[in-house]
Amino acid sequence: QVQLLESGPGPVKPSETLSLTCTVSGFSITSGNYWGWIRQSPGKGPEWIGSIFHTGSTYHNPSLQSRVTISVDTSKNQISLRLRSVTAADTAMYYCARMYFDISTSYYFDYWGQGTLVTVSS
């Protein structure tokens, strides 16, 4: 059973860097899938942040690209997110998810972590 677990610092101050880790269990992150970060502000729809393949190949949402770094640690079966220069607008629940791809179906997010709430506040 694929399980994902996000971990992070909780509160972050404005202008600082948000750092989150997603630990995957029950499935190797080198097994041919992309892995993504998605966030959801209170009362809003989810927003895709970016995705990474185990080789380090990444896609980012252009709206966040200049502030985002996504990395992978295959030895720990983990992916990580760093978001620089945060503001209150970055307050959200942050999820990691597996992106399944098939040529006939394109991408979809089939396994999700429980999410971690990040609050940006001074």
Partner 1 sequence: DIQMTQSPSSLSASVGDRVTISCRASQYINKFLNWYQQKPGKAPKLLIYAASKLQSGVPSRISGSGSGTDFTLTISSLQPEDFATYYCQQSYGSPPWTFGQGTKVEIK
- Binding residues for partner 1 (CB under 8 A): 44-48, 51, 59-63, 95, 97, 100, 104-110, 112-115
CB of 122 to partner 1, least distance (A): 26
CB of 67 to partner 1, least distance (A): 15
Long-range contact set of residues 99-106: C-beta below 8 Å, sequence gap at least 24? 99/33, 99/34, 99/35, 99/36, 99/51, 100/33, 101/33, 101/34
Rank residues 16 and 67 by Cβ distance to partner 1 and give the closer one. 67
Exposure of 117 by Cβ count < 10 A (0-12 exposed, 13-18 middle, 19+ buried)? middle
CB of 64 to partner 1, least distance (A): 9
Going by the DSSP 8-state scheme, the letter that residue 45 receives in this structure is -
Rank residues 77 and 93 by Cβ distance to partner 1 and give the closer one. 93
| Enclosing H/E stretch for 67 | none
CB of 71 to partner 1, least distance (A): 18
Rank residues 17 and 61 by Cβ distance to partner 1 and give the closer one. 61
